A and B are shown apart, each in its own frame.
Chain A
């Protein structure tokens, strides 16, 4: 069995003051392994994004632990946590959050620039990864001149340019049509998933469920079902 990439133990997260406390995640535990494409699915408000944020070092849980590659991330200092996100995790945000005042290539190069790599070298690598996602010819355009699918690919290139071990996607197909969405996810699984990488995807887009190795179904802040494979796999819990 492949090595554990991410381990969440008894994660709890609530929002609001004590008297009006709202639980977003309730005692969630799971593991994700290298070489695995893990989906976190469920209806809106079920706690998917909160869970993803806690395991990617963005949102501190109220209790529980997150271990990534053997490191308990919420014991790290703020700067170490930033380094963890920079070196270990690649994000693709739901709205992409591309920088409209930078070129496509500069957007992709951002993680490398944050890693203090040379500007020209970062752009050269960015071009390589834009080539990987098939939009090298758009490198000098601002993101606003790209289609939704192309912007998704830019965000993807930005997430993988620093070769992170953990790739995190938040609703990657939310603003894409079905065919483009499937094409993108198919591309991710075929080209980016390997034995040294774990991919976590938050989605409620049933059109792409077929690509999941496992699917964590959430409701009301709890994992209610873990399905192996697409929608028709074995149930573990």
Chain B
């Protein structure tokens, strides 16, 4: 069988024009599919940045919340109610809001301010400079060193700034797993200072972070919170809620899906058409092979090999090209949102298999039907 596949390989790659058209078609389609879905994954990851970075097991929130930055403040008594639920190891408040930071050049820069529970500092980021205790110092803030860090003029420990007409001092620099979607820097401080510095509504708790005694307690905690009229979600569920919001309620998901399908159809039509032409042009050769003694399944193997080889080569090139572009884009554009995930790669691979399969099917039908007698007749 290796010999006949080698013949198939030579027939394919030696027809340079068609082979190039096939490779370009698949590469372009894969590039677009991976690029689009990676951008969407990047958006979802960045949209869930707060949840990923804070890392609490269970989040309690208002049922209307669909986005971590659009939190709806919770009454203080809910914190007490949650703490009293059996199975709760501890529950702490989290403040999340946006403030204006006045830079030295007079420019105002919006920043996300996260207020951590004063007693426990649950949800604090990992520091790369400074000491966490200094967050309790006068006007102490920790700055997250992510893609948006430079928007605060690359502050160092001791750098002062103005935030909502209050003085702020950088006491630590932290790193986080993911930067946020909206392209603004993030500051951490204590819950108490956050509500002092930032104008707040009557209620101040954005989320309650809960640590259950064990995973088995989570359903009960969720049920008790629901009875109080609020929503408790695990870390994963909260990320899924945000993902669903962006997928189904913002139009981003639909648009990405449509563009991905269009990319798939473009790839399918280019490859299907080109491969069909390739087979049509070689139909007499396949007929001759049949006349010489090739069996039907051997011709099917040849065609499958040709389409799969083209598909896999195009897939590799497409993924490589996309990775290169994303790497360059991330280097040049700090908040560029694109993550190539295994799911995206798997989905593009599946699409390539479908493209190869459909192209093969069209070609195989033609080749199987060719009668060697047609070759004799000329």
Contacts and interface: CB of A to CB of B under 8 A. Distances in A.
Given A97-B288, A102-B7, A117-B3, A49 B377 contact: yes
Interface in A41-99: 49-50, 52-53, 58-59, 78-79, 82-87, 89, 91, 93-95, 97, 99
Given A85-B292, A93-B376, A101 B14 contact: yes
B190 to A, nearest CB: 74
Nearest to B16: A101
A73 B3 CA distance: 27
A30 interface: no
A173 interface: no
Contacts of A170: 376
B215 interface: no
Given A106-B10, A119-B3, A170-B376, A97 B285 contact: yes
Interface in B292-340: 292-296, 298
Interface size bracket, A side:
35 or more
A113 B377 CA distance: 25
B65 interface: no
A85 B285 CA distance: 16
B291 interface: yes
B11 interface: yes
A62 B284 CA distance: 25
Contacts, number: 90
A91 B3 contact: no
Interface residues of B, number: 30
Given A95-B378, A97-B285, A106 B3 contact: no
Interface in B8-24: 10-11, 14-15
Contacts of B237: none
A97 B288 CA distance: 7
B295 A93 contact: no
A102 B14 contact: yes
B371 interface: yes
A82 B3 contact: no
Interface of B: 1-4, 6-7, 10-11, 14-15, 284-285, 287-296, 298, 371-373, 375-378
10 contacts: A84-B293, A97-B287, A101-B14, A101-B15, A111-B292, A114-B298, A116-B3, A119-B6, A122-B3, A158-B292
Given A58-B373, A82-B290, 5 more contacts: A59-B372, A79-B295, A82-B295, A102-B11, A110-B292
